[in-house]
Every structure is written in C-alpha cells, then in structure tokens.
Amino acid sequence: MKEKHLLTGNEAVARGAFEAGLRFASAYPGTPSTEILENLAEYKDSLYCEWAPNEKVALEAAIGASIAGGRALAAMKHVGVNVAADPLFTFAYTGVTGGLVLVSADDPGMHSSQNEQDNRNYATAARLLMLEPSDSQEAKEFTKLGFELSEKYDTPVLLRMTTRICHSKSAVTYEDRVEKDVIPYEKKITKFVATPANGKVMRKNLVGRLAAMTELSNSTDLNREEMAGTEIGVISSGVAYQYAKDVFGPEASYLKLGLTFPMPMEKIKAFAKKVKKLYVVEEMDPYMERQIREAGIEVTGKEVIPAFDELNPDLVRKGVFGTEEETLTSDLTAVVRPPALCAGCPHRGFFYALSQRKNIMITGDIGCYTLGSAAPLSAMDTCICMGASISTGHGAANIFKQAGSDKKVVAVLGDSTFFHSGVTSLMDVAYNKGTSVSVILDNRITGMTGHQQNPGTGLTLMGEPTGEVDIPLLCQAIGLKKENIYTVNPLKLDEVNKALDEALSKDEPCVIITKWPCILKKFTQEDKDNFDLSPKKCVIDQDKCKKCKMCSKTGCPAIYTGDTITINKESCTGCGVCAQVCPFDAIKEVK
C-alpha cells in the first residue's frame, strides 16, 4: 500500500518534482511560493536546488539546465513572473530539451502582495501550455505531468497555483522517484539562438505546437465532465472548482478544467449543449469566460461572480443564489492588531531617526521594512515593486532639482531586495550623477518570506558555506565614492543621525548600510562573533517617567501606554531604541 501524507500544495509540488526525476530547481523566495524550494532542499541528495538573486535569473538558470538536457523547475510568486517574462516569452519560441515547469503562485486578495494579477493571462500571451491543480494531490500529479508534457510538446509548462492551493492541505499519495537520464546535449543553433532569422522559423513552428496542444486539451482527462443533472452546468478550474462543488452541490454537472491553455473549446461546446444554464466560476479575471463568449457560447460569469479579491463559497453562493449561510454571531468586538515591525527589529532605530527628518521624500520597497510606512513612524512615501525604491528615488530627486526645490530623497530597501534588483538601480544613480541617498537595510537574511539565505548571508539554500557579497565594495565597484558609503548600527541613533546628516548634506550619490541581524533569525556563529546579541531587557523607572509617550513614537509593540507606560518583558529584546528616545532618562537597559 502506498503511503499517504497530508501536504500543502507547495509541499506537493516539491514531491511531484522529486518523483518526476527533477535535476535542477531555482527560485527567488516570495509568498505564496516560497515553500516549494524549501521542501525541494529536503531531497538534495537526489537533485540540485538554489536561491537565485531574482526570478529572471532563476528562470534563466532553469532554462540552461533544460537546454543541457535535465528536467528543471523555476518557482516564483505572480509578480515574479513579471521579472522573468523576458526569457519566458523567448523560451516558449525555442522549446526545451529537458522538461521545464514554471510555477506561478498567484495571490488573489493580495494577502502578501502589491497586486493580484491573474497570471493565466501569461499563458495566453506567451503561448504556454498551462495546468491548474485544484488540490494537493493534483499539485503533485500535475507537476509530474508537466515535465512529460513539456518534453512531448517541446514547450515550457506553466503550473498556475494560487495562495489557497499553495497553503491548504489535503492527502497526497507518495510514489517512488523515477530517475530520468540527462538527455545528451546537442548543439542546435537554429533552435536555441533567438536571432530574428531563427525566431521567424520558431514562430511558425509554435503554430504547429499550439495545434497539437489544443488537440491534447480537447482529449485529455485533465479536462473532464462530471455529469449529473441537466438544469445547471458549471465550468471551473483550480480552487474555484472546489468552491463551485460546495455551492452547486451534486445535482449540478461540472466541466472541471485542469489544462486551461489552450482551452478545450470543443469539450466546452459539447458540455454546453447538455445543460440548460451554464456558469463559469473562476477567481479574478474572466479568463475562461471571455474565451467561451468569444466562441459564441452563452454563459453566466462575472455578472454574479466577483472579478477581484479572493473567492470563497460564500461569495459564490451569494452571487449565484442571493443567499447566505447562517453563521454564529457574537456581541464581542474583534481586536485586530495591525502588522508592525517586531520588537527588537533592527530597522526601527533607522526609521525612527528618518521619521524625525523634515523636507524629505522616502521611496520604499518590498519587504518587512515596508511596515516603516505605518504610524507612528510613517517613514515611507512609496512602494511600487522589488528594487524600485532607488530608481524612483533617482527620478524624484531629478524633478525636485529641476523645480529648484531643496527637498532631498532617501531610498530604502533590504539586502535581499538590493541583490534582487537594486544593484542596477544604484548603478543608474551612480552613472547619472544622482543626488539621492540610498539606504540598504542589511538584516543578514531574507526576512519577509521566512528567513531564506541570499547572496549576502554566506550560506546556500542547501546549507553549504559560500562566498558572501561585500555590499560596501559592491557599491564602490558600481561607481560610488568610498567616502560616500556609510555602515552603521541601526540601533544606535547617534550613528544613524550622523550618517544621515553627512549623506543629506552632499549633492552626489551616497549609500548608508544599516547592518544588524533580524531579531527573529537563527543566529549563526558569525552573527554571534560580530554583534552583541546577549539577552537584554529595557525597564522603565516609574519615578522618572513623565508619561510624555515619546518612547511609544518608536512604534515598538512591547511598549504599552495607559495610566502608566510599561514595557512588556516577554516581548522586549533590549534593543535600546526607546531608551535613546526618552528625554528623561527613565528607561534603562538591563542584562
């Protein structure tokens, strides 16, 4: 009897890739996709996996592995596919050698993202065969199948996941790994060198591959009918299929789609003829609905199903039937704690110092430090995408200068984000003689996505010691003057303020590097050797405290205000920022 395990969708993808004989995997961590590579690392005796500096590099490395003949996988969240789109579109033209699966983990409802784009549209735009699992077992099986279909149809395969599939659990049956020999490499200039002349031929070949994939879509059991009554028919895919089954029940008939590009239009037409009323239940964009309508089929979809935010059975039920399930009510008021920088976060001291500055614009970036925008710090004015802080800061500073304004710009991003896409932005500032101040918050780990290694930590995904990027030297190498690069302890406000004073006084590119490990990370021996991480607490002398609440303006969640100001000893890490802020010397640090 085969073993069954309760797995998340991400764990199931990793298991499926392992069972399929995966050779190479690369990713940049991003919720909700992060755990795929973390779980693949558990199989490091059978395959190779790595964290890449960004998603474009991850996909390009996987493409190289595929061309060399190994099965390869790249994983990323939905916005990461934007970063990887350049090689993705071209690789759809060239085709593969070893099978390649690209996992796109979409985030309906923006649980941890700056937008909720629907990456099914990438399959249409790039002409990629696309699979959509509806539970963890399918996540495993579709991953395995993706490699087979990739090799059979000479195409990269897009495995489209969503947050709910990535993170919910269901039973998964384990099977043995099937070793796949590396396909011997052959030099194929006309296939893999995408010059315009070769590309024109590739484009014609893609038409033939699309025809073959369309035939597959109309014949495969991945797209299956579940016939019951003829009154109502429902077309659905992914987690929305689970919601539809919950709402419409066993009396309705279903066309469950697992392969959604190319769309199985012949199957859809046949199914539509068997039912009186046809619904499309899908999350976010009317991706399927639009194509079904274009085929001349009458269908009900976004008139009743929300077009944005995360879907759930209650929303489907209310939209279709106008009814709501009875729920328990309570007189109690829910207390919701807004997200905040952790007690002891190394970014707090820097953001507090920055918040006291006037006449500056603060361009921010993607990371846990984006919480520096929250009150009471309110020390961030923009957040667009990974690496954008330095670039947008450069543009803003240029306009302020043109307008004759003395407003200065400070751009803020984390170490992992800097490696991801901030390096080229800083190069732009240095090359074009910008005047903004760029701040790299080096907390010695990739913080927001759960403490993954990066090129600045000295360890690989598989736990091997490796070279560590020297950020100050890198900044010099791309054109910054040595005297314009400052490294400070962000918990020491005098150091931070001195660096800010000097950098803001200059009319040329400057970089401030704040260097202190994330308070939540597992400290390495290097951390312990280089930083004073001995246990500390801060306590308030109530006789000295004047209740001015200056300490609370640091935004530390360990500080409680009321009739008396207190510090929760269970939360406090003794970072000392509050003690430096207190004007009455009422807060002391104790070991």
Q: Is residue 334 part of a domain?
A: no
Co-location of 410 and 519 in the same domain:
yes
Whether residue 372 lies inside any domain: the answer is yes
Amino acid letter for position 363: T
Shared-domain flag, residues 169 and 198: yes
CA angle 165, 169, 174 (to 5 degrees): 105
> Is the peptide bond prior to 490 cis by the omega test (within 30 degrees of 0)?
no
* Per-residue tens of pLDDT for the chain, all 591 residues: 689 999 999 999 999 999 999 999 999 999 999 999 999 999 999 999 999 999 999 999 999 999 999 999 999 999 999 999 999 999 999 999 999 999 999 999 999 899 999 999 999 999 999 999 999 999 999 999 999 999 999 999 999 999 999 999 999 999 999 999 999 999 999 999 999 999 999 999 999 999 999 999 999 999 999 999 999 999 999 999 999 999 999 999 999 999 999 999 999 999 999 999 999 999 999 999 999 999 999 999 999 999 999 999 999 999 999 888 888 888 777 777 788 999 999 999 999 999 999 999 999 999 999 999 999 999 999 999 999 999 999 999 999 999 999 999 999 999 999 999 999 999 999 999 999 999 999 999 999 899 999 999 999 999 999 999 999 999 999 999 999 999 999 999 999 999 999 999 999 999 999 999 999 999 999 999 999 999 899 999 999 999 999 999 999 999 999 899 999 999 999 999 999 999 999 999 998
Specify whether 184 is located in the same domain as 150: yes
Judgement on whether residues 352 and 462 belong to the same structural domain of the protein: yes
| 427 and 414 assigned to the same domain | yes
Contact between residue 488 and residue 514 where contact means Cβ atoms under 8 Å apart: yes
In this structure, the strands spanning 360-364 and 408-414 are parallel
Residue found under tokens 């004015």: 381
pLDDT in tens, 31-44: 999 999 999 999 99
233 belongs to a structural domain: yes
CB 61 within 8 A of CB 73: no
Domain boundary among 219, 254, 286: 219
- Of 171, 199, 219, the position where a domain reaches its end is 219
Query: Same structural domain for residues 493 and 574?
Result: no
Residues 81 and 228 in one domain: no
- 455: number of Cβ within 10 Å: 20
Question: Residue 341 domain-assigned?
Answer: no
Length, in residues, of the chain: 591
Residue at 335 is within a domain? no
**277 and 212, same structural domain?**
no
Residues 20 and 164 in one domain: yes
Distance of CA 120 to the CA centre of its chain: 17
Out of 163, 192, 219, a domain closes at 219
- Looking at the fold, whether 110 and 131 belong to one and the same domain comes out as yes
Kindly state whether residue 293 falls inside one of the protein's structural domains: yes
Alpha-helical regions (H) of 154-237? 163-167, 189-192, 196-219
* Counted domains in the chain: 4
Q: Is the pTM of this model over 0.75?
A: yes
Q: Are residues 82 and 210 in the same domain?
A: yes
**C-alpha 521: how far from chain center:** 20
Range of the domain at 579: 537-590
337 in a domain, yes or no? no
CATH of residue 127's domain is 3.40.50.970
Give the amino acid at 406: D
CB atoms within 10 A of CB 28: 32
Which CATH number is 551's domain given? 3.30.70.20
Query: Is the separation of the CB atoms in 416 and 446 below 8 Å?
Result: yes
449 lies in a domain?
A: yes
CATH classification at residue 277: 3.40.50.920
Q: Verify that 316 and 360 share a domain, yes or no.
A: no
